[in-house]
């Protein structure tokens, strides 16, 4: 790399009477940038200074001091001249009359795209502040998925703003601090930018809870003096012991920040006096072997606390972090937190993804970290492509930024990382979307468990699938990963749409028959002609609206007929004479819980807006009470091939004797019927009891078979099927 004469540049800058912020930026950039790079940087600075002329920050400083400070933060990671130039220009499109086209013509495509990715959407009107925030994050993260330098600039921008937040009025200060705590700090953590993550957390805490911050800061200052001798003693003993074992290392101690102490107090319900491990110790060694040798040495010095050891070297975090963590009982029973890592691991721990630029001259391999980050960014792109709203996209992002993780094994022994509290369904979708959609059961450590069971580190998880299986909407109540939540919603939405189209096709068929159009063809042209009348919706969308009760079938049928040249149409939608019910139509069809119709029962249906087709038995008393001039009853019938089990309730009067419930349940199971629930109630006398079973049968013949089997049991006195008011 061509290097510049830093003394010559410094002298020229001093002579030009530039600001201290610019002097600091160029002095640091001159260490690793070439002359041509510095020329680009100076050009960007002058452009930004001119564009922001007359603008001042709340602190009273010229506005250009802010982008200059942002670029200076980025020099800590030795980012390239294009990124530093974009940092200097990141507010000119948003806050001045400068356009993206001007930046592109003067500084090139890359700088222009970086600036555009960071810029907010202030020129666009949104319905609410929440929607504006969501759309800003959406745009920024999509730009980040194309070039990760966008988020590095944005994080540096947010860090400098947080450092100077005190001057802002309280309401805005709280909003910015909350946003930083919920979004920016977790993103920094996800990218492995540990120093940025901790400082953003600390600054957010300071502004969100100023009184708590002051109290804990004061207590830390007092404790620092009381424990100084103890800390120095531990440092000396540790360094001496490692030297005796001939382990080349450096040992340092650091005080936990205020937020870390507060979080421990809150999570474990401790007072400050009960938080002993406010100091952490770090051991830096030359190689991985020395990490484990140092660990053994420390465990000889002080007793390790059971369950407080984590090996992030063998199983790195998703953000690339690697280290050994152990908590020991030090002098006077004081807990000591130790971190052991190599120099390279330490660099990645401090700078995360940005260490790609910081260490690229050394040839450090960050392939795994880059790959994991790329996969995460690609998952954001996939969610963006299929998510309808920016607020839903932001919801997925919030869910995906949980910092706590568990590590589990696949049946093949591969290690997978998932958020804390992730369930078997989350694991299934993490393996593959199709696996998640077809999940029917799960095993943890070879034992069958509920799909909502949370998985723990070290678990071996196996997913059982079936081709006919579909996701259940109740899964949304317990899944925690963004991918699982998004995939379930997407699949359910498609299922409902397909089912509504099928049902709408049958209902429209009946409407056409009512208009005597069953013997003539409806071509594609009439459908195209009526789309404008129905808000430019395509054929399947119109059919879906019919199936969900949003559009009247008779209106669509008449519109189709009016468009045909002969004013006649033939029903090609369905060859039957009635709407045929299979039972598997799903969310577009609902069976009345009052009468629980099953195949073989005479049935009738009506449309309910937003729900679809509701099916009742002919003699349903509750249906009779609902019929008025606004409800049009539809002619429906059971299909010959129903493909599910239907719920029905039966009431049994049985004699009071031991084991009768078990015998009845066994007989119901023997006839291939599934028991959903059983409720026992006292009978008319002490000699008899009443039991109400909710069971599932295929049809009336199946129910008759169940009843015949139950009548063979001597203890069963009477059997009735419950419908209508009898079920109350």
In angstroms, the CA 556 to CA 532 distance is 12
In angstroms, the CA 78 to CA 81 distance is 9
Residue ranges of alpha helices (H) inside 245-341 are: 258-268, 288-301
In angstroms, the CA 29 to CA 694 distance is 75
User: Given 3-state DSSP classes, what are the helix, strand and coil percentages for the chain, each rounded to the nearest 5?
Assistant: 55, 15, 30
In angstroms, the CA 301 to CA 240 distance is 11
Long-range contacts of 491-496 (CB under 8 A, 24+ apart): 491/437, 492/587, 495/470, 495/586, 495/587, 496/586, 496/587, 496/588
Helix, strand, or coil here: 166?
A: helix
**Active-site residue list:** 94-95
Which residue do the tokens 């399947």 mark? 540
Contacts of 398 (CB under 8 A, 6+ apart): 182, 183
Of 396, 404, 457, 164, the residue nearest 263 (C-alpha)? 404
The length of the chain in residues reads 728
Which residue do the tokens 């995906």 mark? 400
In angstroms, the CA 617 to CA 598 distance is 9
Q: What 3 state SS string does 527-545 have?
A: HHHHCCCCCCCCHHHHHHH
User: Backbone dihedral region of 60: left (phi > 0), alpha (psi from -120 to 50 degrees) or beta?
Assistant: left
The CA–CA distances, whole Å, from 274 to 189, 257, 278, 727 equal 27, 16, 10, 59
In angstroms, the CA 171 to CA 178 distance is 11
Contact 694, 676 (CB under 8 A): yes
In angstroms, the CA 320 to CA 192 distance is 7
Q: Is 54 exposed, middle or buried (0-12, 13-18, 19+ CB in 10 A)?
A: exposed
In angstroms, the CA 665 to CA 671 distance is 10
Q: What backbone phi and psi angles, to 5 degrees, belong to 507?
A: -65, -40
Q: Which two tokens stand for residue 225?
A: 């003096």
Which residue do the tokens 């079936």 mark? 466
């Amino acid at each position: 790399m061509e290097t510049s004469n830093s003394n010559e540049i410094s002298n020229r800058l001093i002579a030009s009477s530039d600001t201290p912020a610019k002097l600091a930026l160029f002095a640091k950039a001159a260490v690793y940038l070439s002359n041509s790079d510095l020329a680009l940087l100076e050009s960007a600075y002058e452009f930004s200074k001119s564009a922001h002329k007359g603008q001042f920050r709340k602190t009273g400083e010229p506005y250009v001091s802010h982008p200059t400070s942002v670029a200076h933060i980025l020099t800590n990671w030795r980012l390239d001249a294009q990124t530093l130039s974009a940092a200097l220009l990141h507010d000119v499109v948003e806050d001045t009359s400068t356009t993206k086209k001007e930046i592109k013509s003067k500084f090139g495509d890359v700088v222009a795209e970086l600036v555009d990715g960071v810029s907010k959407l202030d020129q666009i009107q949104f319905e609410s502040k929440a929607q504006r925030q969501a759309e800003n994050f959406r745009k920024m993260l999509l730009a980040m998925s194309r070039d990760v330098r966008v988020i590095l600039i944005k994080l540096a921008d947010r860090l400098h703003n947080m450092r100077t937040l005190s001057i802002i009025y309280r309401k805005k200060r709280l909003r910015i601090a909350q946003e930083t705590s919920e979004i920016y700090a977790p993103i920094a953590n996800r990218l492995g930018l540990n120093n940025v993550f901790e400082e953003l957390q600390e600054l957010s805490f300071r502004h969100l809870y100023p009184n708590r911050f002051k109290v804990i800061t004061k207590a830390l200052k007092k404790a620092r003096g009381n424990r100084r001798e103890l800390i120095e003693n531990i440092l000396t003993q540790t360094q001496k012991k490692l030297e005796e074992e001939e382990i080349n290392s450096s040992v340092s101690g650091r005080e936990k920040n205020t937020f870390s102490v507060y979080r421990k107090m809150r999570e474990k319900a401790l007072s400050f006096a009960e938080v002993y491990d406010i100091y952490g110790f770090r051991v830096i060694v030359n190689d991985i072997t020395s990490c484990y040798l140092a660990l053994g040495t420390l465990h000889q010095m002080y007793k390790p606390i059971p369950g407080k050891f984590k090996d992030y070297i063998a199983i790195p975090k998703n953000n690339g972090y690697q280290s050994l963590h152990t908590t020991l009982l030090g002098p006077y029973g004081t807990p000591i937190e130790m971190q052991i890592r190599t120099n390279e691991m330490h660099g990645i721990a401090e700078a995360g993804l940005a260490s790609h630029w910081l260490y690229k001259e050394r040839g450090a391999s960050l392939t795994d970290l880059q790959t994991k980050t790329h996969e995460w960014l690609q998952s954001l792109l996939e969610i963006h492509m299929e998510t309808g709203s920016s607020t839903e996209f932001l919801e997925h992002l919030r869910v995906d930024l949980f910092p706590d993780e568990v590590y589990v094994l696949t049946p093949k022994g591969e290690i997978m990382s998932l958020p804390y509290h992730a369930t078997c369904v989350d694991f299934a979708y993490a393996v593959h979307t199709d696996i998640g959609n077809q999940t029917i059961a799960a095993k943890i450590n070879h034992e069958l468990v509920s799909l909502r069971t949370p998985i723990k580190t070290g678990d071996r998880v196996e997913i059982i699938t079936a081709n006919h299986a579909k996701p259940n909407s109740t899964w949304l109540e317990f899944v925690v990963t963004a991918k699982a939540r998004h995939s379930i919603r997407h699949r359910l939405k498609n299922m409902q749409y397909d089912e509504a189209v099928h049902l709408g096709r049958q209902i429209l068929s009946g409407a056409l028959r009512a208009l005597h159009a069953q013997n003539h063809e409806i071509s594609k042209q009439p459908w195209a002609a009526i789309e404008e009348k129905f808000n430019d919706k395509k054929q399947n969308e119109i059919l879906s609206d019919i199936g969900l009760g949003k559009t009247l079938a008779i209106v669509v049928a008449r519109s189709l007929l009016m468009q045909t040249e002969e004013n006649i149409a033939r029903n090609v939608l369905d060859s039957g004479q009635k709407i045929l019910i299979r039972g598997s139509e799903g969310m577009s069809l609902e069976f009345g819980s009052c009468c629980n119709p099953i195949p073989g029962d005479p049935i009738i249906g009506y449309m309910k807006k937003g729900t679809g087709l509701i099916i009742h038995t002919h003699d349903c008393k509750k249906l009779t009470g609902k019929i008025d001039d606004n409800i049009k009853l539809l002619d429906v019938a059971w299909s010959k091939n129903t493909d599910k089990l239907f719920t029905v309730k039966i009431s049994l009067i049985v004699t009071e004797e031991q084991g009768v419930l078990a015998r009845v349940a066994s007989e119901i199971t023997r006839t291939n019927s599934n028991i959903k629930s059983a409720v026992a109630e006292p009978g008319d006398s002490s000699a008899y009891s009443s039991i109400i079973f909710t069971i599932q049968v295929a049809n009336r013949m199946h129910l008759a078979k169940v009843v015949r089997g139950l009548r063979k049991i001597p203890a069963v006195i009477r059997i009735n099927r419950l419908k209508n008011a009898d079920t109350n």
